[in-house]
Structure 1
Amino acid sequence: MIHCLRPLVAVLAWCAPFASALSAADWPQFRGPAAAGVDARVALPTTWDVATGKNLRWQTPIPGLAHSSPIVAGDRIYVATAASDKPADLKVGLYGDIASVNERDPQQWRLIALDRATGKVIWNTLGLEAVPKVKRHTKASHCNSTPATDGNRIVAIFGSEGLFCFDRDGKLLWKRDLGPMDSGYFQSPTAQWGFASSPIIHEGKVIVQCDVQKDSFLAAFDLADGRELWRTPRADVPTWSTPAIVETPGRRQIVVNGWHHTGGYDLATGKNLWRLDGGGDIPVPTPVVAHGLIYLTSAHGTFRPMRAIRPDATGDITPADPGQTNASIAWAHARRGNYMQTPIVVGDLLFACNDGGILTCFDAKTGDVKYSERLSTQGQGFSASPVSDGRHLYFASELGNIFVVPVADKFSVASTPSLPETCMASPAIADGMLLFRTRGHVIAIGAGR
């Protein structure tokens, strides 16, 4: 069990500089502290039944359609949404349709605060009401980005409508126009899919990665007043990845995923430190750090690499082939990566599940493949990223079926509980509770009720 706790200890130490208003029990951004997806302090239930109430703490209806994940700070859970007077259609499953949804209905972008213990709505604040500037994909929403918090302030990207900052009482403090967040397939620019990169907060800075059809950039804003601190142009295809902070002796960098420009940027100035070209041409997963390595993956097109990068990389580290290594690439597989899901490291193992439900377990240090097995034979899609309590992994299919997999180098499925609705958002963990954002609810699963 000790090996399962190591990632949590590392994550908490990493988050210490900017977590003065946060506690170890908080989940302040997409996939929790450092996007690690792990909270090993309390064992989570492996079975539940929402209909009968077994291990159900509470469930709260949430208006609108959004794939934004819940975040947790103190006694509050925050969730963002985009609501309309008309029900929004959502098409889940495995399909290759690149079309946008043809809708022009006004949306209300809202940030909602829930009581952590009961799920009761504390406040429901309207950030903006407008007709969306950019269309969404049939599987996406107008609110895909997960908010981030330092415990006192909450920031949310509402797509092309901008970057918004609220206080704990739901008061809008400031907002910034990021320009048109036109994300879609680079080979068909008219196919708009919706923005999905989430903001992160580090030492009073809000970091945003805005890779869109044109005028892409990485930028830092002051959390206190929204003042732009720096902006670095990027030349890449649209991406949906959330950036990550990596700190090593003598270097603090922001790592971003991409196709032509995966790379690291200096946290203080935005200067590019290293870059990596090639891989999957629709980058979605967030970089993950463990064992002194940065794990990066992307998919679609010819390659779908899974790679481990050394954080002291400098300059252009691009190999001749995405499966090759060099002084900056510790290990690599050209065709074992993920399309939608962010991988997860628990102990010495790296787990990666692709959109078709094939789960691959790697040795995180060496890249050796321990197994590669299919979670489901039903042809379900998998978009939500997994989380873990250090004992089990929780993979949510788009249909709301949860696959509970033991943390081990041999494949097995411990249980397959379900949710009553489709599930596209990555879950959160809050001190022994699993928080699922489904089609119309936030559902809290915890032992003892």
Structure 2
Amino acid sequence: MLKFKSFLTLFSAILYLSVCAQQIDPSRQWSMYRGNSISGYLDNVNLPETWDAATHKNIAWQTAIPGLGHSCPVVWGDKIFVTTAVSEQDEDDVKTGIYGSIGSVPDSSMHYWRVYCVDKHSGEIEWDRTSYTGIPEQKRHPMSSHANCTPATNGEFVVAFFGSEGLYCYDMNGNLQWSKDFGVLKSSFFLVKEAEWEFSSSPLIHKNVVIIQCDVQENSFVAAYDIKSGKELWKQNRDEYPGWSTPNIYSDGEKDIVVVNGYKHRGGYDFKTGEEIWRMAGGGDIPVPSPVIGNDYIYFNSAHGKVSPIYAIQKNAVGDITLEERATSNEFVKWAKLRGGSYMGTMLLYGGYLYNARWNGRMTCYNAETGEEMYSEKVGEGNSYTSSPVAADGVVYIADNDGNVYSVKAGPEYELLATNKLEQKVMSTPAIADGYLLFRTVESLIAISEIER
């Protein structure tokens, strides 16, 4: 009888854990920069139309995050993860606006690179871990931070990348599993190596593999690591200028492909082997935006230099698909716009339309299939916008650096629905979870929600 009772107890525990696991739908988790596959949207989430930080209207909670970090929040179940670099010298020290200075912030103070886990419902900090302590190996731009890379999680592990300060993997309770040191990753303007701007390419997790893209002054590469052990699975060297773009994943129908933005080498690599599938040169020579995936295409944008293009590239691309000068299509490039790409913002593909938001706040909407321009409008009154647009339930959200968040009706005609205020500087892109819109400001993590408490 005792053995039978023990069996029932064990069976009940297994059943309970199974039910709990089934309640978390991986497809509805904001597991990396801009959510699954960098898509930037999540529908059926029940977000409020208006909120106000000054009056606390629809502000579920606000939690101060020490230090300075432009990494975005990621969400899995009830856990939110965010990173930061803590230093008295860097506290709230961020310049906003559009200006031409390429200089770096003089910074020789001690920093503490940390990972925070925050409860989604209460805003309470569940745990925080210091990954690295020391003086930064690289300087940062006045608009940048020393914790720019958004973490990634698969519900079992969370990975944080701090550039020259290393790559770290924790379990969901904050226990360090492994770490890697890649030496100094020199992220600076390719024409002026002394203009250091800090590293910013975020990791992604796909099928228990961690992918990172490191386009730097010397020894650029893209690589894959086993998430459980940290073992290197493959590494491909790249002849590329420094870039700040996060890689993505797509399937061509037969295999998964790692896709990266770049100037000399935009392209795709076999997810399992790292073998190069296709490549393309040209575009903006300081690539920051990440590629987005939809239908049968991979969409790219970039800026700086002679052109600021937007490309729609077919998933079946192979070989060198570089466009001829002034050309806007070829066998594998469906369509291209040679001017108008964004310097900072990753595009949003939502409901058949492609939204490209520029640093000055002008957002252009295209028919994603044909490239036809539907509208081009300045959104709001802000002076600078480094946050990429996200969407939920027919609304596109974009924030300016002053903390004004603009709600734009999704679709081919421009309509500004609302302007809501956070009263803090916003440099990073928000995250979306069921019932929550989550903003990482320079000072805090803020949860927007109309859920009754």
What's the TM-score bracket when you normalise by the shorter of the two chains?
over 0.9
Q: What are the ranges of 5 or more consecutive residues in structure 2 without an aligned counterpart?
A: 1-21
Structure 1 residue 243 corresponds to structure 2 residue 247: yes
Match of 1:51 in 2: 54
Report if the CA contact (8 A) 2:46-2:434 is conserved.
Answer: no
Match of 2:284 in 1: 280
2:138 to 129, 134, 137: 134
Match of 2:435 in 1: 432
Partner amino acid for 1:108?
Y
C-alpha distance in structure 2 between counterparts of 1:144 and 1:448, whole Å: 30
Match of 2:164 in 1: 160
C-alpha distance in structure 2 between counterparts of 1:266 and 1:322, whole Å: 30
Partner amino acid for 1:52?
T
**RMSD of the TM alignment (CA)?**
1.4
Match of 2:208 in 1: 204
The percentage of aligned residue pairs carrying the same residue is 43
Structure 1 residue 42 corresponds to structure 2 residue 45: yes
1:140 Cα deviation after fit: 0.2
C-alpha distance in structure 2 between counterparts of 1:90 and 1:392, whole Å: 29
Listed one character per residue, the Cα deviations across residues 87-111 of structure 1 (whole Å, up to 9, x for unaligned) are 4321111111100100101110110
Report if the CA contact (8 A) 1:280-1:302 is conserved.
Answer: yes
Match of 1:4 in 2: none
**Secondary structure at 2:61's aligned position in 1?**
strand
Partner amino acid for 1:189?
K
**Secondary structure at 2:317's aligned position in 1?**
coil
Report if the CA contact (8 A) 1:100-1:191 is conserved.
Answer: yes
1:68 to 46, 71, 74: 71
Moved more, 244-253 or 94-103: 244-253
C-alpha distance in structure 1 between counterparts of 2:47 and 2:368, whole Å: 24
Inter-CA distance 377–429: structure 2 relative to 1 (3 Å threshold): closer
**Secondary structure at 1:34's aligned position in 2?**
helix
Match of 2:117 in 1: 113
Inter-CA distance 391–295: structure 2 relative to 1 (3 Å threshold): same
**Secondary structure at 2:420's aligned position in 1?**
coil
Listed one character per residue, the Cα deviations across residues 105-124 of structure 1 (whole Å, up to 9, x for unaligned) are 11101100111111001011
C-alpha distance in structure 2 between counterparts of 1:111 and 1:322, whole Å: 46
Structure 1 residue 93 corresponds to structure 2 residue 118: no
Structure number with bigger Rg: 2
Report if the CA contact (8 A) 1:162-1:177 is conserved.
Answer: yes
Match of 1:104 in 2: 108
2:317 to 296, 308, 313: 313
1:163 Cα deviation after fit: 0.5
Listed as ranges, the matches of 1:334-349 within 5 Å are 334-349=338-353
2:404 to 401, 406, 411: 401
1:448 Cα deviation after fit: 4.2
Match of 1:84 in 2: 87
Moved more, 314-323 or 193-202: 314-323
Partner amino acid for 1:419?
L
List structure 1 runs of 4+ shifted beyond 4 angstroms: 19-22
Partner amino acid for 2:294?
A
Structure 1 residue 215 corresponds to structure 2 residue 219: yes
C-alpha distance in structure 1 between counterparts of 2:24 and 2:232, whole Å: 23
Partner amino acid for 1:73?
W
Partner amino acid for 1:413?
L
Listed one character per residue, the Cα deviations across residues 256-312 of structure 1 (whole Å, up to 9, x for unaligned) are 000010000000111111111101001011110112110001101110001100011
Partner amino acid for 2:175?
K
Match of 1:3 in 2: none
Report if the CA contact (8 A) 1:278-1:322 is conserved.
Answer: no
Inter-CA distance 24–271: structure 2 relative to 1 (3 Å threshold): closer
Moved more, 87-96 or 59-68: 87-96
C-alpha distance in structure 1 between counterparts of 2:413 and 2:336, whole Å: 21
Listed as ranges, the matches of 1:219-238 within 5 Å are 219-238=223-242
Report if the CA contact (8 A) 1:70-1:146 is conserved.
Answer: yes
C-alpha distance in structure 1 between counterparts of 2:237 and 2:222, whole Å: 6
1:183 to 183, 187, 197: 187
Q: What are the ranges of 5 or more consecutive residues in structure 1 without an aligned counterpart?
A: 1-18
1:85 Cα deviation after fit: 3.0
Structure 1 residue 375 corresponds to structure 2 residue 379: yes
C-alpha distance in structure 2 between counterparts of 1:275 and 1:20, whole Å: 40
Report if the CA contact (8 A) 1:288-1:344 is conserved.
Answer: yes
Report if the CA contact (8 A) 2:248-2:290 is conserved.
Answer: yes
Moved more, 181-190 or 313-322: 313-322
Inter-CA distance 377–51: structure 2 relative to 1 (3 Å threshold): closer
1:323 Cα deviation after fit: 4.8
Partner amino acid for 2:113?
W
C-alpha distance in structure 2 between counterparts of 1:230 and 1:147, whole Å: 21
Partner amino acid for 2:445?
V
1:375 Cα deviation after fit: 1.1
Inter-CA distance 123–438: structure 2 relative to 1 (3 Å threshold): same
1:416 Cα deviation after fit: 0.8
Moved more, 384-393 or 79-88: 79-88
Match of 2:394 in 1: 391
Report if the CA contact (8 A) 2:169-2:177 is conserved.
Answer: yes
**Secondary structure at 2:197's aligned position in 1?**
coil
Match of 1:363 in 2: 367
C-alpha distance in structure 2 between counterparts of 1:120 and 1:23, whole Å: 23
C-alpha distance in structure 1 between counterparts of 2:193 and 2:24, whole Å: 42
Report if the CA contact (8 A) 2:313-2:334 is conserved.
Answer: yes
Number of equivalent positions: 430
Report if the CA contact (8 A) 2:72-2:150 is conserved.
Answer: yes
C-alpha distance in structure 2 between counterparts of 1:64 and 1:205, whole Å: 30
Structure 1 residue 195 corresponds to structure 2 residue 199: yes
